[in-house]
Chains A and B, each alone.
Chain A
């Protein structure tokens, strides 16, 4: 792993305390060109994390707070008639940013959600019949309240599939919380952070992810994981090929973060939960984290016969 990335990770973890694993996963997700979904209760530091990441990677950062009365144009932008030039002129929406924080994405109506998710997938926006590419790199960090909360429109599975990873931050540990409480506001910290890595450098590292070697044995392991998710009957629906590709890409990024140019089964096992938990549903209706653990334990790492 390049030293700049490790410095960036250190910098972020000085703001978001005690969440090293999640920070690394978030960075890996970025390196793998994936979008990140953070699911947590309000006030757990989701926004702080996104803000800090944007700062240290010196990304152009926008934040949209999703509400139920929001329209697609509020995200994508709108053409306005300019009486002076007698022409329509585009007002770019917040989506034209390098890092978009879509706060509480499940509060918006499905229509608005759809507009965002389409932009995420296509990495371009079509307005008035003209396609406009989004900036490079382009990340979306969406946060979501647990669906049990009132007044939300839960994202359907098909759209959840667009997010490479889903993580949750969770409550801090006692000592972290003590440090948190005795220190100053974390968001202020975040806004004063210095960039540790240029976006060009980030792009370079992203290019390296594709070059991380996945051996035949490893790909075989990934395939057996996917096959088991479909054949075992543990899950309502098995993992899609896109999930498989995502899993491999995330594992590559994780390997790169660990400073290796090849993927090991450990990498796959670490990212398996974040990459697959939001895409599958246990047939018993239990928690999805448990079911990914079941999947992991059911598949041997090395072929036995």
Chain B
């Protein structure tokens, strides 16, 4: 007769818990029906295990499967792709638990649980998620230990403990693999975050967009400086420039005659003229730093003044900003050397002068245009005109606010002469307009300004609410010069950040809980710590890319060749395995004590520490007798302990090992509590030994 390989009963708690823990992150994220279905199915399985329900037959299971596929199609429109696929996987996994009859099915369930766990990484890779997945893995592995434990009636906690030990033992090897196994570009690109919105700056700006961004506290990027961190007023993180104004919206656009290859230079292409000129003119770098960016779904990178990066996939645009070849879909880090804005020896190209002074043909904003031409005519030069304009912003009744009134047709006129309440985009936009109206080439720069210094890691933390726009103007003989009209209106914004600036006007960027918590010192310190940990994680784990690996390994291996990598892997892995083997051999050499023998040792050690003279050859009855003379108060629990121990160690069969184990431990602790020596009844130990 063929043997039926049953799933041991004691493995079920961890099988079910593992299934639940593995699905849990997906329930959070997935469609609602999944969050209902999985607990119901697992609960059903629990009832079956309890013997309250029978295993469902094929007639029930098959329609259930169809329903799951149908529901997936309904909520995702497809069963393909990562998100729909994971939904289907999780639901099918819960269904699989309903047909877990044999040991083989349990193995399948455990493999599925591990796979479902791994898919969590598709959606989140932060340290907390990793910690969660690690702990859930321990539970899933406990189920694996459980189904391989032939002993029946064992406490499930023992399986969990063993599984925990095994996972911990696997850690060193995992680290070695992480560091040494060659990183390969993904074989296929899973567009997991396609539906996820792009974050941060966009390639165009209309009034109200930046202020919307300023209400988000999400992290844009973190920066680690080699050396001094620049003061807040110099932290202008350039990301994009907007050169085209259509009367309402500023956008990133190029005139059709400009060729992309000449405008944007990557390391592997032929360097254009302007690039070589920059290289020739640059001196020593002013700042050297590493930026670790969060996912944005866009190509823009952020850096100070004129940046050069070491990365192959990072290029420099003619408007002096860094651009990545592909969108940033996961944590990305790059090293930057920043130089001062060069003093331009040559003028602008013709197209540049045309482009950066262009305004909508059909007019609009007549008052602003008129004021610009009058003031420019009255000024001695471009610089004097700009100074007068900034002074005007500073002295007139302009307000800095997150909630500006809506503007109509002529945005600049209405803002400058009527509402006078605006956010940085209003100031930058109208300022650039006024420059162009006076014939001065100008463009808007979008990026971030400021950032919070985390003293733990000495790195800058730049959040979405640090988003900012300002203006660059071309001055003859000087080149592009930064001007920040917002700084003229609200200098606090530049020096101390958004919150402080808004506070002067009685506003707050972050509303609700996040805003309230920011004021609590403990929370502030905790969030600094969390930021520090996350930064380390992003730098060392998520940012450990192919290029970083090459750089890291070449420090140890010299030239990195496949042979050397394999050899290093084999050597380090071998050393670790050998160490583990030796340790295991050492463990096997000494016979393990059973739990009651360990318990006996604890008891005798405790008594010896308290001064009871005990020899190893004494039987439990003799131990108890001697100890009772020293500690009469403990006499009763000592006797109970002895009876319990003798029953376990010498009686025929123990029916309830767990009960007895707990009882023995409890009695030992009770003895421990009673080990109080009464001063008046203190027996003379020497006499006792005689007796």
Using a CB–CB distance below 8 Å, which chain A residues touch chain B? 213, 215, 217-218, 261-266, 269, 296-305
Contact = CB atoms under 8 A, between A and B. Distances in A.
Contacts of B615: 297
Interface stretch (B119-127, B223-231, B649-657, B664-672): B649-657
A73 B590 CA distance: 57
Given A215-B650, A266-B619, A305-B593, 5 more contacts: A215-B651, A300-B617, A301-B617, A302-B649, A305-B591
Contacts of A263: 650
Interface in B599-646: 600-601, 615-621, 646
Contacts of B649: 215, 217-218, 302
Contacts of B652: 213, 215, 261-262
Across chains A and B, which 9 residue pairs bring their CB atoms closest together, nearest first?
Answer: A300-B616, A217-B649, A213-B652, A265-B619, A215-B650, A302-B600, A297-B617, A266-B619, A262-B651
Interface string B577-610: 0000000000000110100010011000000000
11 contacts: A213-B651, A213-B652, A215-B651, A265-B619, A266-B619, A269-B619, A296-B617, A298-B617, A299-B617, A301-B618, A305-B590
A75 to B, nearest CB: 42
Contacts of A303: 591, 593, 597
Contacts of B593: 303, 305
A223 to B, nearest CB: 13
B112 to A, nearest CB: 41
A266 B649 CA distance: 13
A301 B619 CA distance: 6
Listed residue (B590, B591, B652) with the most chain A CB atoms within 10 angstroms of its CB: B652
Contacts of B619: 264-266, 269, 301
A91 to B, nearest CB: 49
A303 B592 CA distance: 10
Nearest to B622: A266
A13 B413 CA distance: 127
Contact of B616 (A217, A261, A301): A301
Nearest to B593: A303
A157 B649 CA distance: 35
Interface residues of B, number: 18
Contacts of A217: 597, 649-650
A296 B601 CA distance: 19
Main secondary structure of the interface of B (DSSP, over half): loop
Nearest to B649: A217
Contacts of A297: 615, 617
Contacts of A298: 617
B660 to A, nearest CB: 14
Nearest to B604: A302
A296 B619 CA distance: 11
Contacts of A305: 590-591, 593
A305 B589 CA distance: 11
Contacts of A304: 601, 616
A217 B596 CA distance: 10
Interface string B532-565: 0000000000000000000000000000000000
| Residue with the greatest number of chain A CB neighbours at <10 A, chosen from B597, B601, B649 | B649
Contacts of B618: 301
Contacts of B650: 213, 215, 217-218, 262-265
A261 B647 CA distance: 11
B615 to A, nearest CB: 7
Nearest to A215: B650
Q: Which one of B617, B619, B646, B651 has the greatest number of beta carbons of chain A within 10 Å?
A: B617
B653 to A, nearest CB: 9
Contacts of A262: 650-652
B625 to A, nearest CB: 11
A292 to B, nearest CB: 12
Nearest to B645: A302
Contacts of B620: 265, 301
A253 to B, nearest CB: 16
B651 A302 contact: no
Nearest to A264: B650
A302 B620 CA distance: 9
A302 B601 contact: yes
B394 to A, nearest CB: 83
A213 B651 CA distance: 7
A298 to B, nearest CB: 7
Contact of A266 (B590, B591, B616, B621): B621
A297 B590 CA distance: 23
A79 to B, nearest CB: 51
B643 to A, nearest CB: 11
Instruction: Determine which residue in A264, A302, A304 has the highest number of CB atoms from chain B within 10 A of its CB, and name it.
Output: A302
A263 B619 CA distance: 12
A298 B590 CA distance: 20
A299 B618 CA distance: 9
A242 B164 CA distance: 47
A21 B615 CA distance: 25
A196 B203 CA distance: 112
A227 to B, nearest CB: 14
Contacts of B651: 213, 215, 262
Nearest to B623: A301
B10 to A, nearest CB: 23
Contacts of A299: 616-617
A281 B358 CA distance: 118
Contacts of B591: 303, 305
Contacts of A296: 617
Nearest to A213: B652
A297 B618 CA distance: 8
Nearest to A295: B617
A70 B652 CA distance: 50
Contacts of B646: 264
A56 B643 CA distance: 35
Contacts of A269: 619
Contacts of A218: 649-650
A263 B651 CA distance: 8
Interface core residue of B597, B601, B619 (most chain A CB under 10 Å): B619
B470 to A, nearest CB: 74
A106 to B, nearest CB: 34
A304 B597 CA distance: 7
A296 B617 CA distance: 7
B601 to A, nearest CB: 6
A301 B617 CA distance: 5
Nearest to B621: A266
B509 to A, nearest CB: 66
B604 to A, nearest CB: 8
B621 A302 contact: no
A213 B647 CA distance: 12
Most central of A261, A265, A305 by chain B CB within 10 Å: A265
B592 to A, nearest CB: 9
A299 B619 CA distance: 11
Contacts of A302: 597, 600-601, 616, 649
Nearest to B590: A305
B647 to A, nearest CB: 9
Nearest to A263: B650
Contacts of A213: 650-652
A50 to B, nearest CB: 32
A269 B615 CA distance: 14
A224 to B, nearest CB: 11
A175 B467 CA distance: 108
B597 to A, nearest CB: 5
A293 B338 CA distance: 87
A263 B621 CA distance: 13
A222 to B, nearest CB: 12
Contacts of B600: 302
Interface in B368-391: none
Nearest to B599: A302
B531 to A, nearest CB: 49
A269 B622 CA distance: 12
A213 B646 CA distance: 13
Nearest to B603: A302
Contacts of A301: 616-620
